[in-house]
Structure 1
Amino acid sequence: MEKFLISAGLVLCLVCLVKCVRFSQYLFLRFCKALPSSFLRSMGQWAVITGAGDGIGKAYSFELARHGLNVVLISRTLEKLQAIAEEIERTTGSRVKVVQADFTREDIYDHIKEQLEGLEIGVLVNNVGMLPSIFPGHFLSTPGESQNLIHCNITSVVKMTQLVLKHMESRRKGLILNISSGAALRPWPLYSLYSASKAFVYTFSKALSVEYRDKGIIIQVLTPYSISTPMTKYLNNRITKTADEFVKESLKYVTIGAETCGCLAHEIIAIILNQIPSRIFYSSTAQRFLLAQYTDYLKRSISN
C-alpha cells in the first residue's frame, strides 16, 4: 500500500508538472513574439477562411492578410464579402478572392473546389458555424433546422479539409485551424446539439493532427469559451474576448500543440471548469441554474 501511494503521488506530481510547463508556454507566447513574422507566409501564398463575413472569420481574414497572405473569403452574403475584400485590399495590399457559398447546403463543394483551383493554399481556417440560440434550452425546443447545423458545423470542416489537405500533403507544409468551442470539452446539457457538433470538430481535428504531423502539416483545434460576435449577440462580460483580440492572440499559439483555447484567459477558465465534478456539473440543480439565473445573466450581458 505504501508503494502504491508513493507511485500515485509521483504520477500526480508529474501531471501537475506537465500542466505547469504547458501553462508556462502560454505565458511566454502570450507576452513574447516567439514566431517569426514570416512563419504564416511560409506555409503558402493563400489563406482560405470560411464564415468570413462576420466575427472570428472576418478577423482572421484581416489578420492573415496583415501577415502577408492573400486571402479567399467564403461565406453566404456576397455584399458583406465584397465590402470586406475591398477594405482588406485597400489597407493591406493583399489580394482577395471572394466565394459565395451557403454552408447549410451540401451541394456547394464542387463550386468551391473550382474557385480554389491553382491556388497555393498554406492556411485553412474552418470557422463557419451555427449556434441555434445563445440561451440554454432543451433539445426539442431548439430553434432552427438541425440538419442545417450539422452541415454548417460538421460537414463544412470535413469537406473543406478534404479539398485543401491533399495539396498541403504534396507540398509537405500547411496550417489548418479548426474553430471548435469550450462546449466541446465535455457534454453540455441544454446546448446539446451545438456541443455535440463542436465535439466532432475537436475529435476529428486531434485525430488528423496525429495522422499528418509527420508530413509537415499543423492541424490545430481551438476551443474558446466566449467571443463577442453576431452569433453570440455581441455578448459583453469580463471573460468575453472581441473577435480581433482572440484572433491576434490565437495566432501566437499555432505551434503549441494540437489543441488550444486560443487565449490565455480561456485556458484558465478551462482549468477551473475541469475541476468541477461531473455529478455537480450534470446535477438537476446546475441545469435549473442554467435555465433560470444564467439565462437572465445572458440577457443582461447582451443588453449592456
Structure 2
Amino acid sequence: MEILSQIPNSVCGFFAIIGLLFLGRKVVSYVRLLLSLFFLSGNNLRKYGPKGTYAMVTGASDGLGKEYAIQLAQKGFSLILVSRTASKLETLSTEISQKYVGSGIQIKTMAMDFSENREEDYASLEALIEDLDIGILVNNVGQSHSIPVPFILTPQKEMMDIIGINVTATLRVTKLVAPGMARRKRGLILTMGSLGGLLPTPLLATYSGSKAFLQQWSTALGGELKSSNVDVQLVISYLVTTAMSKIRKTSLLIPNPRNFVRSVLSKIGRSGGAQNMAYTSTPFWGHGLMQWWLENTFGLGAAYVVEKNRQMHESIRKRALKKAERDSKRN
C-alpha cells in the first residue's frame, strides 16, 4: 500500500481510464452480441431478387443443404440443386414441387461428385446455369474426416477429398456464379464455415485448415464484391445434428438442421457471435454465445484451448476405434 501511495495521481488516473475503456469495449461488444443474436433481423431475402429468382445450393440432397433448399423454396425462390446422388436429388425435387405446386417455382438438378473435380462436370454445370438469374448461392458442400485422425496418419484420398470438396469445389462454383451477380448488381454468396476454421483442431487438421482457408477467402471476396452490391457471408457453425457430425441428439449448443438454417436465413448481414469479423456471421445463438465467450476469455487460438480440443478429439478417436473393432468382431 505504501508503494501504491507513492504513484502519482496522474499515473493512477491514466491506468484507470485504460481499464474503463477496456471494460467499456467488452460491454459494448456483449450488447452488440445480444442485439444481433436475439433482437435484430437480417436482410430481407427479396433484396437478392423477386419471387422466382434462382437460389443455387451445393450438397443439397442431405442435412443442411436439403434444409436450405426447403426453406428457400418456402420463401419463393426457384432452385438449382447440385449434389452427388441423383436419386436423392430427384426425391427432394419431387417433394418440393408437390408441396409448392402452382407457386411457379422451378427446380433444376444436377448430380455431380465434387471430389472428382472433372472439367466436364463444371462445363455441364456452367451450361445448366447459363442465362439464369441466380440471386443466392449457398456453398454448402463439404467433407470432414471419417473419424478424428492425426495428420500423419490421414489417408491420402481422405485428405485430397477434403481439400477438393471444401476448397477447390467451393471456389470453382463461386467463379461460375459470381460474375452474373456482379453484372446484375445484386446477389448473396453464403459459404459454410466452421468454428474449426477459427479454433485450430488437432486430429482434424486438414478439415480445420480447409475451413480456415474459406474464412480468409470469403472475407477477401466480400471486400471485392461490395462495390457490385453482392453480399458475401461466411457462416460459422459448431455442431449440428447431421450425418457429417454423426450426432443425433439436439441440445442448447447443437440444433437440428431446420433450426440452424432458419437462424442463418433470418440473420443475413448480422454478425451474431462473429463480432469484429467482416463478412462473417455466427447466427445460431448457442454457437454465437460460445464463440464470444471463448474469444473473450482464453482466446480461440490459445495453447490451453488447443490442448483441450486435442484431448477431446483423442477421446472421440479412441471410442470410434473401439466401436469399429466391436463391429468387425460381430461380422
Aligned position for 1:149: 162
Alignment of 1:109-258 (within 5 A): 109-133=122-146, 135-143=147-155, 144-238=157-251, 239-257=253-271, 258=279
Aligned position for 1:276: 298
CA 1:296–1:270: 2 relative to 1, 3 Å:
farther
Distance 1:255 1:289 in 2: 33
How far has the Cα of 1:214 moved from its partner? 2.7
Aligned position for 1:259: 280
Structure 2: gaps of 5 or more residues: 1-10, 272-278, 324-331
Distance 1:37 1:112 in 2: 24
Deviations 1:153-199 (A, max 9, x none): 00111111111111111111001100011111121112111100011
Q: 1:292 aligns with which of 315, 318, 323?
A: 315
CA 1:293–1:82: 2 relative to 1, 3 Å:
closer
CA 1:247–1:262: 2 relative to 1, 3 Å:
same
Q: 1:87 aligns with which of 74, 89, 95?
A: 95
Structure 1 residue 54 and structure 2 residue 68: aligned? no
Any conservation in 2 of the 1:47–1:124 contact (CA below 8 Å)? yes
Any conservation in 1 of the 2:263–2:283 contact (CA below 8 Å)? yes
Higher deviation after alignment, 244-253 or 288-297: 288-297
Q: Which runs of at least 4 in structure 1 moved beyond 6 Å after TM superposition?
A: none
Distance 2:154 2:242 in 1: 20
Query: What is the aligned residue count?
Result: 294
CA 1:43–1:168: 2 relative to 1, 3 Å:
farther
Structure 1 residue 66 and structure 2 residue 74: aligned? yes
Any conservation in 2 of the 1:45–1:121 contact (CA below 8 Å)? yes
Distance 1:113 1:293 in 2: 41
Any conservation in 1 of the 2:52–2:106 contact (CA below 8 Å)? no
Structure 1: gaps of 5 or more residues: none
Residue 139 of structure 1 aligns with an amino acid whose one-letter code is F
Q: CA RMSD in A?
A: 2.4
SS of the equivalent of 1:227 reads: coil
Distance 1:286 1:184 in 2: 13
Residue 314 of structure 2 aligns with an amino acid whose one-letter code is L
Residue 86 of structure 1 aligns with an amino acid whose one-letter code is T
- Work out the percentage of aligned pairs sharing the same amino acid: 29
How far has the Cα of 1:234 moved from its partner? 3.8
Distance 1:159 1:247 in 2: 24
Any conservation in 1 of the 2:51–2:77 contact (CA below 8 Å)? no
Any conservation in 2 of the 1:44–1:121 contact (CA below 8 Å)? no
Structure 1 residue 20 and structure 2 residue 41: aligned? no
Aligned position for 2:85: 77
SS of the equivalent of 1:187 reads: coil
Distance 1:165 1:293 in 2: 39
Any conservation in 2 of the 1:71–1:95 contact (CA below 8 Å)? yes
CA 1:68–1:295: 2 relative to 1, 3 Å:
farther
Residue 85 of structure 2 aligns with an amino acid whose one-letter code is T
Any conservation in 2 of the 1:44–1:174 contact (CA below 8 Å)? no
Any conservation in 2 of the 1:43–1:174 contact (CA below 8 Å)? no
Choose 1 or 2 for highest CA Rg.
2
SS of the equivalent of 1:130 reads: coil
SS of the equivalent of 2:244 reads: helix
CA 1:44–1:10: 2 relative to 1, 3 Å:
farther
Distance 2:33 2:163 in 1: 33
SS of the equivalent of 1:20 reads: helix
How far has the Cα of 1:110 moved from its partner? 1.6
CA 1:42–1:5: 2 relative to 1, 3 Å:
farther
Taking structure 1 as the reference length, the TM-score comes to 0.88
Distance 1:229 1:86 in 2: 22
Distance 1:18 1:260 in 2: 15
Distance 1:67 1:224 in 2: 23
SS of the equivalent of 2:283 reads: coil
Distance 1:292 1:56 in 2: 27
Distance 1:241 1:128 in 2: 19
Any conservation in 2 of the 1:43–1:123 contact (CA below 8 Å)? no
Any conservation in 2 of the 1:43–1:173 contact (CA below 8 Å)? no
